[in-house]
Amino acid sequence: MENITEQIKKRRTFAIISHPDAGKTTLTEKFLLYGGAINLAGTVKGRKAAKHAVSDWMEIEKERGISVTSSVLQFNYDGYCINILDTPGHQDFSEDTYRTLMAADSAVMVIDASKGVEAQTIKLFKVCLLRNIPIFTFINKMDREARDPFELMDEIESVLGIKTCPVNWPIGCGKNFKGVYDRNAKNITTFTAAMGGQKEVAAREFGIESEDVDSIIGPDYHQQLLEDIELLDGASDEFDMELVSQGKLSPAFFGSALTNFGVETFLTHFLQMTTSPLPRKTTTGIVDPFDNNFSAFVFKIQANMNKAHRDRIAFMRICSGKFQAGMEVNHVQGGRKIRLSQPQQMMAQDRKIVEEAYAGDIIGVFDPGIFSIGDTLCTGADKVEFEGIPTFAPEHFARVRQMDTMKRKQFIKGISQIAQEGAIQIFQEFNTGMEEIIVGVVGVLQFEVLTYRLENEYNVEVRLDKLPYEYIRWIENKDELDVAKIQGTSDMKRIKDLRDNPLLLFINSWSVGMVLDRNPGLKLSEFGRNN
């Protein structure tokens, strides 16, 4: 029986961030292959298609065959216990995608080598920056025509503002992809595609000094590689583990998830460089993961898993100690003790009951409607409170109109509960009360979810009138100024949230800068603080 410390030490909890189609699903499925969690790569993909059949919640999800919420994959590899947090991507991109990053200890950034840094990667990256977590870069699809690797490194640096340190370096790309050069071991691994569920890559490795280099990769690529190495050694940032762990330097790897080239090398290096669960900040200090007392915070609430009961599952990240099924804990924000019953762990779409879990793990517990995003649960005499999860900027806004004004009460109840789960954010006109409700969402699918749920769960019909705003900013120094007197632009609108915090909406991004120019001292933020 391993003790708690050993269990926690072997945990690695991370999220994969990328723009849709960069290869996140493919890479995940190759990781699972190495972990033995699946026998044939392709299962995760299959899961996507099979969702019609297995998903038991929310018609909307069935109709569209997409997942509205994210899940966690846990598997063991090489003595590590790995938790991959799935960040919803395509149409189901939502605030949950951002919040999931709050539960991760590090992130893997997958970049399509032909495209470089794309919009969704930028958004997710900004959230990682908030917490300074280590970020590892996997430049994918080298088996296809790719952009110049130096150019890609420059782009990551200039667009994302993080320095990179290539661990390996590609030799050619596409039809002429010869393999990668390991800068540390100073050897070349030649490219061989391992398709399907093949684990072993029949690659050859040999030193850069070997006489065979010319004949295997060709004299031109050999020459190019020597020049690249010289340039890299002279110009790129040196590997510095301290900077990596602060999220200031990203180790970069090149490979091809589809053909399973460079995936295991990446996984091995990544697991060594990333950390076991990190200490977490509370309002009163730091909680160490190895602390004997259990503590966790809620980062996601998923509604209506079972249509027969209007239940919710609260997903929490364990920050310290050990969890045992049925244990009694303090629900700090609720101010009372509760028993954590029906704990679940998500393995892809399958739910299984967990008996025990450790710091670093994610569990889902039955929520009778008492939890809010960011709530803390803990045991022990000292009641800690983890720092709140920020509110992320919605990008789509609509005015909500109720069709039957007699159902005002249900409407307010429904929309408030859905907002409490964190699926939407609700705002009001700056100068009036609840009569006019403006709803903001990160992904447009949430509008459909809102309409559907209000109708099906609360029996309230609504109409959404889309508003043209795309940018929202919280006013950080709201107490130091008179919000009504802010010199705005013609496309600016003042609103407030339910806690009466003032916010500004804009149609154009450049208006944000203009308003800052016109109002010296005004401080705006893309993130809202919850405590």
Q: Can you give the binding site for ligand G4P, defined by CB under 6 A?
A: 18, 20-26, 45, 89, 140-141, 143-144, 256-258
Smallest gap from residue 468 Cβ to ligand G4P (A)? 29
Smallest gap from residue 407 Cβ to ligand G4P (A)? 40
Tokens describing residue 54: 């297995």
Smallest gap from residue 86 Cβ to ligand G4P (A)? 10
Residue 207 marked in a binding site: no
Smallest gap from residue 18 Cβ to ligand G4P (A)? 5
Residue 88 marked in a binding site: yes
Smallest gap from residue 87 Cβ to ligand G4P (A)? 10
- Residue number with CB closer to ligand G4P (196 or 285): 196
Residue 21 marked in a binding site: yes
Residue 25 marked in a binding site: yes
In the numeric block, the tokens 């996984």 are attached to 267
Residue 142 marked in a binding site: yes
- Residue number with CB closer to ligand G4P (197 or 279): 197
Residue 89 marked in a binding site: yes
Smallest gap from residue 332 Cβ to ligand G4P (A)? 36
Please tell me the distance from the alpha carbon of residue 180 to that of residue 187, in angstroms, as a whole number: 8
Smallest gap from residue 325 Cβ to ligand G4P (A)? 33
Smallest gap from residue 258 Cβ to ligand G4P (A)? 3
How many beta carbons lie within 10 A of that of residue 477, not counting itself? 11
Q: Which strand (E) or helix (H) includes residue 494?
A: strand 493-497
The CA–CA distances, whole Å, from 232 to 128, 236, 409 equal 27, 5, 64
Question: Which residues lie closer than 8 Å to 520 by C-beta, 6 or more apart?
Answer: none
- Residue number with CB closer to ligand G4P (21 or 311): 21
Please tell me the distance from the alpha carbon of residue 260 to that of residue 201, in angstroms, as a whole number: 7
Residue 257 marked in a binding site: no
- Residue number with CB closer to ligand G4P (23 or 388): 23
Q: How many CA atoms lie within 13 A of 88 on its CB side?
A: 21
- Residue number with CB closer to ligand G4P (194 or 257): 257
- Residue number with CB closer to ligand G4P (47 or 322): 47
Question: Which residues lie closer than 8 Å to 60 by C-beta, 6 or more apart?
Answer: 68, 448, 449, 452
Residue 141 marked in a binding site: yes
> Which one, of 266, 278, 19, 24, lies nearest residue 160 by Cα?
19
Question: Which residues lie closer than 8 Å to 275 by C-beta, 6 or more apart?
Answer: 12, 105, 106, 134, 245
- Residue number with CB closer to ligand G4P (140 or 417): 140
Residue 19 marked in a binding site: yes
Q: What torsion do the CA atoms of 52, 53, 55, 60 make, to the nearest 10 degrees?
A: 30
The DSSP string of 68-90 is SS--EEEEEETTEEEEEEP---S
Question: Which residues lie closer than 8 Å to 267 by C-beta, 6 or more apart?
Answer: 31, 34, 77
- Report residue 216: phi and psi, to 5°: -85, -45
The CA–CA distances, whole Å, from 226 to 151, 152, 262, 294 equal 18, 19, 21, 53
Q: How many CA atoms lie within 13 A of 174 on its CB side?
A: 6
Smallest gap from residue 115 Cβ to ligand G4P (A)? 11
Question: Which residues lie closer than 8 Å to 255 by C-beta, 6 or more apart?
Answer: 138, 139, 140, 142, 180, 261, 262, 263, 265, 266
Positions of E strands within 293-395: 295-303, 312-320, 322-324, 328-331, 336-339, 344-347, 350-353, 356-358, 362-367, 376-378, 391-392
Angle between helices 408-420 and 445-458 (to 10 degrees): 130
Residue 360 marked in a binding site: no
Residue 20 marked in a binding site: yes
- Residue number with CB closer to ligand G4P (18 or 265): 18
Smallest gap from residue 65 Cβ to ligand G4P (A)? 13
Residue 269 marked in a binding site: no
Smallest gap from residue 46 Cβ to ligand G4P (A)? 10
- Residue number with CB closer to ligand G4P (129 or 193): 193
Smallest gap from residue 21 Cβ to ligand G4P (A)? 4
Residue 23 marked in a binding site: yes
Residue 143 marked in a binding site: yes
- Residue number with CB closer to ligand G4P (177 or 299): 177
Tokens describing residue 435: 């009569």
How do 135-140 and 249-254 pair as beta strands?
A: parallel
- Residue number with CB closer to ligand G4P (35 or 390): 35
The DSSP string of 233-247 is HHHSPPP-HHHHHTT
* DSSP type of residue 43: H
Residue 520 marked in a binding site: no
- Residue number with CB closer to ligand G4P (257 or 357): 257
Burial per residue of 410-436, b for 16 or more beta-carbon CB atoms within 10 angstroms, e otherwise: bbbebbebbbbbbbbbbbbbeeeeeee
Detail the residues annotated as belonging to a binding site: 18-25, 86-90, 140-143
Detail the residues annotated as belonging to a binding site for GTP: 18-25, 86-90, 140-143
